[in-house]
Structure 1
Amino acid sequence: MATQSPFSFVGSVFERMAAGTQPPQWLVHEVQHRVVLLLNHVLMQESAATQRLVPSRGRVVRMQWRHFFMALRVTPAGLFDLAPPAATPDLRLEVMQASPLDLAQAALRGERPSVRIDGDVQFAGDIQWLADNLRWDVEDDLARLIGDVPAHTLANLAGSAAQALRGFLQDRVPPAGGPSGWSVERTTP
């Protein structure tokens, strides 16, 4: 007797949520603002990152997955801000993976999604550099709130849990086709 994977059920739930009703605009706006704050927090921890973005001030990158998108403008300080709604993007990044479950599984395996890139090549190179070189030091931020030892303990616990989850998924979920890393389809305007 064949049994159905619980992941197929979760995938269908994600699909229905993604295809269903849109969240209220105020919620989308608030989530986008929080993402910008997090991105800028990580950028400010690495001065080379902000210095790399300064020459791109005023440029707009639009990131999209399915019908969800976010447009960011580079500020004169080398940080990000939400772009005005009418802003024309200099760079478009579109995640090609349609299934939210497949996207989450690939992320848990440490793989990057397939991305279609369209626009300014230099700006795309700077964004790629950020993706390759910036990491959020969660343990350091936690240490400021709860102290070094509890933060280190929580970080180790989270790392162990993530490793166990990856191992669980490797045993039960077939790997996605193609090599790890970003698969990129490049087009120019």
Structure 2
Amino acid sequence: MLTKVAAGGINHLLAQAEWARKRLREHEGAVAAVVIGGISLSFAIGPDGYFAKSAPDVTPSVIITLAPDALAKLPDGVDAAMSQVKISGQADLADSLSFVFRHLRWDGEADLARIFGPIIGRRAHQTASHIVQAIPETGGRIAANASEYLAHEGRLLVPQAELLLHAERLRHIRDTMSRLDKRIKRLTHTEASTT
């Protein structure tokens, strides 16, 4: 069941990318196994460049092993997630799969246009894109405002400028204490040698 769902999702993306299907057609009949944690899913590449569930007794040509945190890195970009992927097996197939998955992108606007029509689909996609871009910026502003309030108004945090000034004063005191300690040792050593 899980293999069928995963193949459906990947095939949806492949339907929007003729270049990817063309590259995968060169490997018709090859089997790729994807291992995530303890789960292994095997896909066969069909003559049309789409993935299908492979027969359970077929040895995979390529094994793609994803680190448990690879999927969590997808919001940081495909390259961030792919850095957590290990591909072993047939070199040319591994190269093709790596290339396809690094460059395969979802055309959300096309999917929304099919559901809502081209105008509403485009506007919904633009709105979603703006929201996705605004979230980190808004979060950063909220954090900056909260820390400024806590430092200046609430006096619950020490402002960075005061913290740096305090650290500089502590360094000065430490250096002065070190010089004083050396002077005391010299005087003590001088007194001991004269008596």
Q: Which TM class, normalised by the smaller chain length?
A: 0.5 to 0.7
Compare CA radii of gyration and give the structure with the larger one. Answer: 2
Larger deviation: 38-47 or 135-144? 38-47
TM-score normalized by structure 1?
Answer: 0.64
Match status 1:58 vs 2:25: no
Preserved contact between residue 109 and residue 166 of structure 1 (Cα < 8 Å) = no
- Identity rate, percent: 25
Conservation of the 8 A alpha-carbon contact between 2:62 and 2:88: yes
The CA deviation at 1:133 is: 2.5
Please list every run of 5 or more consecutive structure 2 residues that lacks an aligned counterpart in the other structure: 144-195
Q: Secondary structure at the match of 1:56?
A: coil
Tell me which residue corresponds to 2:81: 112
Match of 2:191 in 1: none
Write the deviation string for residues 53-109 of structure 1: whole angstroms up to 9, x where unpaired.
Answer: 12211111111111122110001222110111122111011112x34xx742x2222
AA in 1 matched with 2:102: D
- Residue among 13, 16, 27 paired with 1:45: 16
- Structure 1, unpaired ranges of 5+: 1-28, 173-189
Amino acid at match of 2:36: W
Match of 1:147?
117
Is 1:82 equivalent to 2:49 in the alignment?
A: no
- Number of residues paired by the alignment? 138
More helix, by proportion: 2
Contact 1:108/1:166, CA 8 A, preserved across alignment = no
Question: Given the superposition, is the C-alpha separation of residues 66 and 131 from structure 1 closer, same or farther in structure 2, using an over 3 Å criterion?
Answer: same
RMSD between aligned alpha carbons? 2.3
Contact 2:3 2:42 in 1 (8 A): no
Q: What one-letter code is carried by the residue in structure 2 that aligns with 1:144?
A: R
Larger relative contact order, structure 1 or 2 (CA cutoff 8 Å, min sep 6) = 1
CA distance in 2, matches of 1:107, 1:164: 18
